[in-house]
Structure 1
Amino acid sequence: MDIIYKPTLPETIQPIIIIGAGGIVADAHLPAYKKAGFMVHGIVNRTKAKAEKLAAAFNIPNVYESVAEAVAKAPENAVYDLTIMPEQYIETLEQLPDGVAVLIQKPMGDSFEEAKEILQLCRKKKLVAAINFQLRFAPFVSAARYMIDQGMIGELYDMEVRVTIKTPWEIFPHVMVHPRLEILYHSIHYVDMLRSFLGDPETVMAKTLKHPAKTLSSSRSTILLDYGDTMHAVINTNHDHDFGAHNQECFIKWEGTKGAIKANVGLLMDYPHGIPDVFEYCLTDEKSLPQWKQVELEGSWFPEAFIGTMANLMRYREGSSDVLYTSVEDVIKTMAVVESAYISSDKGGIKVSEQLKNN
């Protein structure tokens, strides 16, 4: 079976200027851009030595002292790649020239209020702005999307994300202390990915939880997205399953009236080392018993999915794509779902004791 899942690359050369030099740049952005053949023109970081180290490793010709210098010396058609923490977004976006293309690391701010500020600023400056929700472009997600769009599994009626792993939060020191850790910095990927298939839910029910022996703000969540009385869309995450690999799992599953697709996401197993992804599908046939088949896909979430977000931004900017899939105008809706999940978690469910009154 031929499945189209690799991203279409831009037709023009658009030099990239990276703002930030953290681990995600070394592990995902730069390897992805190298694989795609994108030109990285320059890099800037508050600690210049970190930028210089990456510049040497990836043959980046320019290391800047500041964002202002990077902007002043940027080629006319530069694309800016913000890989900094959300609290730095506004001050950095304000320094960019009006009308430029910019890819902003997720999440779109540390709160929904910040997300709205970022959206307004991007509108004011007429930025061609996208958020780097790259899970949408992971090979296994793109392959599933192709099969579903082709009608191969019929009408989609069930989507499930299940994550039962041991996450080493300590390797993300700036993130692990966040008061909204699990949904805002992890499950938000799944919320955005589900939206890319199903659109915007009517309501959200959620609970995000702490571990009794840890200081993290949250490490487990259940999020149920309401799409009516036939579509089941649920996210279950448990980052505390520290009992060996035997029962750990991480998968996305799509079920339809004519078949099903399951993608085992190897990246998050034994993170950051990971294991191979597994992509499999089952198409129903009245003449035979259901049979699952595997398809070998090239690449994984890291780094290949990062090609997709940048390629889409470049193609939209040059006019070869009509849709900027993770535009700030779209992702503000992902942030609204996330905010709704936190409100639901805080308010709690229906009290059972109320049903027993006057019984």
Structure 2
Amino acid sequence: MQIPYKPILPQNPQPIIIIGAGGIVGDAHLPAYKKAGFQVFGITNRTRAKAEKLATDWNIPNVFDTVADAVAHAPAGTVYDVTIMPEKFVETLELLPDGSGVLIQKPMGDYFWQSKEILEVCRRKKLAAAINCQLRFAPYVSAARYMIEQGLIGQVYDMEVRVTLETPWELFPFVMVHPRLEIQYHSIHYIDLMRSFLGEPRTVMAKTLKHPAKELSSSRSTILFDYGDTMHAVINTNHDHSFGPHNQESFIKWEGTKGAIKARMGLLMDYPHGVPDKFEYCIVEEGKAPEWKELQLEGSWFPDAFIGTMSSLMRYKAGEIDVLPTSVEDVIKTMAVVESAYQSSDDGGVLVANQLTDI
């Protein structure tokens, strides 16, 4: 089966200036841009030494002391890649030229009020602004999306994300201390993915939990989406499965009236080393027993999906496409679901019948 799953590159890539020099830049952004042939014109970071190291490692010609300095020296048509922490987004966006193209690292704010502030700045300055919700562009997600859009598995009635593994949060020191760790910084990927396939849920039910022996604010979550009485959409994450790899798992599964697709997200298992991804599908044929087949795909979530988010921004800015897939106008709806999930988790469920006083 031939499936188009690789991102379409812009006809004339624009120069990139990266704002921030955290681990994700060296692990994913720069490898992706090198693979795609994009030109990174410069980089800036509040700790200049970090920016200088990345510039040396990746042959970036310019290191700037400040965002203002970077903007002053930016070539025409520069796209800004903002990779700093969310509380600095608004003040940084204010410094960019009106009408600029900008890719903003997820999440779109730590709290929904911040998300709305970011949206307001982007609207006022007429920024072509996208959030780096790059899982939408992972090879196995793009392949699944094509198969579903072609009707190959029929009407989708079940979508599940399950993550059961041991996550080394210590690799993310600024993130692991966050009071909204699991949903805000991890399951947000899957919430955004659900929306990109299924649209807007009517309601959401969620519970996010701590580990009794860890200081993390949360490390396990269950999120259930209400799409009516036939669609089952659920996210289950457990980052505390520290019992070896034998029963660890990390997958996205779609089931439809004519078939099913299951994609293993190998990156998350034994992170950051990862294990190979796996893309399997089963299309039911009348008179035949169901048979699962495997499709070999090139690339993975890191770094290939990061090509997709930047490519779509460049193509939108150049007028090659009319819709910016992960625009701030779209991802604000992901942030609304995230906020609703926390509200659901805080408020709790319905009191069970045998605890009621009138029975």
The separation in 2 between residues aligned to 1:253 and 1:268, in whole angstroms, is: 16
The answer for the alignment partner of 2:50 in structure 1 is: 50
SS of alignment partner, residue 33 of structure 1: helix
The answer for the alignment partner of 2:324 in structure 1 is: 324
Runs in 1 of length 4+ with deviation above 6 angstroms? none
Any unmatched runs of 5+ in structure 1?
none
The reply to whether residue 221 of structure 1 matches residue 221 of structure 2 is yes
The separation in 2 between residues aligned to 1:3 and 1:322, in whole angstroms, is: 23
Q: Deviations over 1:283-330 (max 9, x none)?
A: 001221100000000000000000000000000010111110000000
The answer for the alignment partner of 1:342 in structure 2 is: 342
Please state how far the C-alpha of 1:13 moved relative to its aligned partner: 2.7
Counterpart amino acid of residue 282 in structure 1: C
Equivalences for 1:73-222 in 2 at 5 Å? 73-222=73-222
Kindly report the root-mean-square deviation, in angstroms, between the aligned alpha carbons of the 2 structures: 0.8
SS of alignment partner, residue 190 of structure 1: helix
The answer for the alignment partner of 1:59 in structure 2 is: 59
The separation in 1 between residues aligned to 2:190 and 2:352, in whole angstroms, is: 30
Please state how far the C-alpha of 1:357 moved relative to its aligned partner: 3.1
SS of alignment partner, residue 306 of structure 1: helix
Q: Deviations over 1:167-218 (max 9, x none)?
A: 0001100000000000000000000001000001000000000000001000
SS of alignment partner, residue 50 of structure 1: helix
SS of alignment partner, residue 11 of structure 1: coil
The answer for the alignment partner of 1:280 in structure 2 is: 280
The answer for the alignment partner of 1:271 in structure 2 is: 271
The answer for the alignment partner of 2:314 in structure 1 is: 314
Please state how far the C-alpha of 1:72 moved relative to its aligned partner: 0.2
SS of alignment partner, residue 175 of structure 1: helix
The answer for the alignment partner of 1:247 in structure 2 is: 247
The answer for the alignment partner of 2:35 in structure 1 is: 35
The separation in 1 between residues aligned to 2:15 and 2:315, in whole angstroms, is: 13
The separation in 1 between residues aligned to 2:238 and 2:274, in whole angstroms, is: 17
Q: Which stretch shifts more, 169-178 or 346-355?
A: 346-355
Q: Deviations over 1:4-25 (max 9, x none)?
A: 1000000113000000011100
SS of alignment partner, residue 201 of structure 2: coil
Counterpart amino acid of residue 188 in structure 2: I
Give the structure-1-normalised TM-score: 0.99
SS of alignment partner, residue 207 of structure 2: strand
SS of alignment partner, residue 189 of structure 2: helix
Q: Relative to structure 1, is the Cα distance of residues 354 and 347 closer, same or farther in structure 2, using a 3 angstrom cutoff? A: farther
- Percent of aligned pairs with the same residue? 75
Counterpart amino acid of residue 172 in structure 2: F
SS of alignment partner, residue 233 of structure 1: strand
Q: Deviations over 1:35-63 (max 9, x none)?
A: 00011000001111111111111111111
Give the structure-2-normalised TM-score: 0.99
The separation in 2 between residues aligned to 1:214 and 1:280, in whole angstroms, is: 36
